[in-house]
Chains A and B, each alone.
Chain A
Amino acid sequence: MPSPELAIRELQQVTDAALAILTLDELLRELLDRIAAILGTDTAAFLLLDEVAGDLVAQAAKGIEEEVEHGVRIPVGRGFAGRIAAERRPVAIEDVDHADILNPILREKGIRSLLGVPLLVEGRVIGVLHVGVLSPRHFSDQERDLLQLAADRAAIAIEHSRLHAQRNIVEALQRAMLPSALPMIPGMLLTARYLPAAVDACVGGDWYDVFELGRGRIALVIGDVVGRGVEAGTLMAQVRTALRAYALEGHQPAAVIDLLNRLFGAERPVKLTTLAYLVLDPEAGELTLVSAGHLPPIVVDPDGRARLLDVEGDPPVGAFRSAAFVERRVPIEPGSSVVLVTDGAAEVRGEPLDLGLERLRVLCERERDPRALCDLIVRGEASAGPSDDDVAVLVAQIQPLPERLSTRWPANADALGGLRHLLRRWLAGHGAGPDETYDITVAVQEAAANAVEHAYAPGMAAFSVDAENREGLVVVTVTDRGNWRDARGENRGRGLPLMRGLMESVDVEPADGGTSVVLRRTLAGS
């Protein structure tokens, strides 16, 4: 037998070099070959613990390959391997005939003597490594220690390989859960990034989400499930979906988080999620915010000044079932941005969080372009280099509307909502009262709906809407590529009379290759 140091160095080379390229099964088989050669044994086998069932399961074997093929399972505490796992110490059997052996394959193979050691990671048993010989043999203390050293190396390699596999699963889960594309909302610029942790063990439950709530309101969510790995990833998926469901049911923001807390507060062991849920209403110029133990959102005002929003000291979701969440409303102007991040964007270990938040605030003032800002944040500009935690960042900017509106839309009924919300914002900016805004919006929608209905190739065609304010006279022009036809048939065709009733004048004019509907109305306040 070679010196233990030499033997271990040889094993170490295998594990280090192999980790990058071998699958777990390949790695284990490679290790078994080396171990059997070093110790001069006929068989060698790895059994790994199935924590749910409490069984050891044959994972790789040399000389007794049937163990793996038959999927041999040994309950912890029973038989040779089960004893090693239960007692967390090496066990040697000199004569198999006089021992409690559960696995018939060992006897059938004619194995006479066995030596086994536990696979331990930070004191936890993750499996058993055992070797066997066909002739009776007494294993020395030195051989026992060598096998244990080999097992310790193997345990680390197995754990790494599992974490790596887990990382792939979590990353796939995260990719599937994050919006594949942010919604296109006219008058809004939305940007987001997610960067998984640089360290395998830290990939976890950060997420962001953006969805429309109707009436022009936009839901912005950022959150972080406390914990790591597959468990955090799957919980994140549940929290994200539940939040969407409650929000789309029409609950107020604080009620959404209350319901979420009641749903996940019953989990044992306790699972915590910090999150910020914001409802942005660009028409009303208002932001409603609930924070469940999350970092405060940052608002960048149109003049470039960035400020942290005060958040109530509400606990994370899942902490206390009786927690009540408070929503705050803050005014927000066109040209403002809302910046939402997770811990990894600002946190530096051993440093007060306030310092990180201040760096982040200053960064938001320095970089005004939302896309560039997102890139800087995930690159660790405010957290002193790449984070060993996940980083998620979401920036929503209410784009200022130009004096003269000039827009183009797909000829699709789904475009009508976006047009309506944009037009309301534009009209409000020109001093239109609520009734005037309502009437003009309905009239423009009628013209747009007609363009949608008569688009000859759905999905292909487009229409344009231009709006200008000529000293108090609002003129909106809706142009499409078809001929004007008022809808016919029973209970149709009310579009044109409605437009005429709501506006001062409605002119249907031929325009190059299509039709323009020109709608005019003088604002009372002008």
Chain B
Amino acid sequence: MTSVIRVEEQRHGTTVVASLDGELDASSVGDVAVRVRRLVQNRELRLVVDLARVTYMDSAGINLLYAVGDELRARQQQLHLVLAPGSPILRTLAVVGADRSFPVHPSLDDALAAG
């Protein structure tokens, strides 16, 4: 095991928050996918994935966001992201246009307020 990533969950009304902490790569994306998908039930309207404490994410993570985003959309649910301005992850998302595919908030409070 070379990478450790933790997923914490919170519920705020009809919003469920998955806070990720660690490095998200091809070796850890499978676990994260399982945990994030398990979080979302039918009564939720939104999933907020808080990436503020993620220190590394490559296309494995970006692909997961798109896949989960598509699944949510098909059920009239939404995916929101939390990323601090200037985060290197935001820059990599921008390279493939992912920052325009999902609402991105600078903090979890902002994301919840936007609900």
Contacts and interface: CB of A to CB of B under 8 A. Distances in A.
Chain B associates with chain A: yes
B3 interface: yes
A214 B62 contact: no
Given A416-B27, A442-B58, A491-B66, A498 B96 contact: yes
Interface string A15-30: 0000000000000000
A445 B92 CA distance: 13
A494 B62 contact: yes
Interface stretch (B18-26, B76-84, B106-114): B18-26
Contact of B95 (A249, A413, A417, A502): A502
A201 B33 CA distance: 52
Given A414-B2, A498-B58, A435 B92 contact: no
Contacts of A452: 26
A417 B56 CA distance: 10
B67 A417 contact: no
A498 B6 CA distance: 25
B interface residue count range (under 10 / 10 to 19 / 20 to 34 / 35 or more): 20 to 34
A124 interface: no
A501 B95 contact: yes
Contacts of B96: 494, 497-498, 501
A214 B25 contact: no
A250 B21 contact: yes
Interface in B38-63: 55-56, 58-60, 62-63
A358 interface: no
B91 interface: yes
Contact of B27 (A414, A491, A494, A502): A414
A446 B59 contact: yes
Given A497-B96, A498-B59, A248 B4 contact: yes
Contacts of A498: 58-59, 62, 92, 95-96
Which bucket holds chain A's interface residue count? 35 or more
Contact of B3 (A214, A249, A453): A214
Interface in A394-434: 413-418, 420-421, 434
Contacts of B2: 212, 214, 414-418, 421
B91 A212 contact: no
Best-surrounded residue of B5, B21, B25, B26 (most CB of chain A within 10 A): B26
A176 B27 CA distance: 28
Interface string B64-75: 101100100000
A445 B66 contact: no
Nearest to B5: A214
A254 to B, nearest CB: 19
Contacts of A434: 88
A254 B60 CA distance: 34
A4 interface: no
A417 B55 CA distance: 12
A502 to B, nearest CB: 6
A445 B88 contact: no
Most chain-A Cβ atoms within 10 A of its Cβ — which of B5, B60, B64, B70?
B60
Given A215-B55, A413-B25, 18 more contacts: A214-B4, A214-B22, A414-B2, A415-B2, A416-B2, A418-B2, A438-B56, A439-B92, A441-B56, A442-B92, A446-B59, A449-B25, A449-B59, A491-B64, A491-B70, A498-B92, A498-B95, A498-B96
20 contacts: A212-B2, A214-B23, A215-B56, A250-B6, A416-B2, A416-B3, A417-B2, A417-B27, A435-B91, A439-B91, A439-B92, A441-B56, A442-B56, A445-B58, A449-B25, A491-B70, A497-B96, A498-B58, A498-B59, A498-B62
Interface of A: 212-215, 248-250, 413-418, 420-421, 434-435, 438-439, 441-442, 445-446, 449, 452-453, 490-492, 494-495, 497-498, 501-502
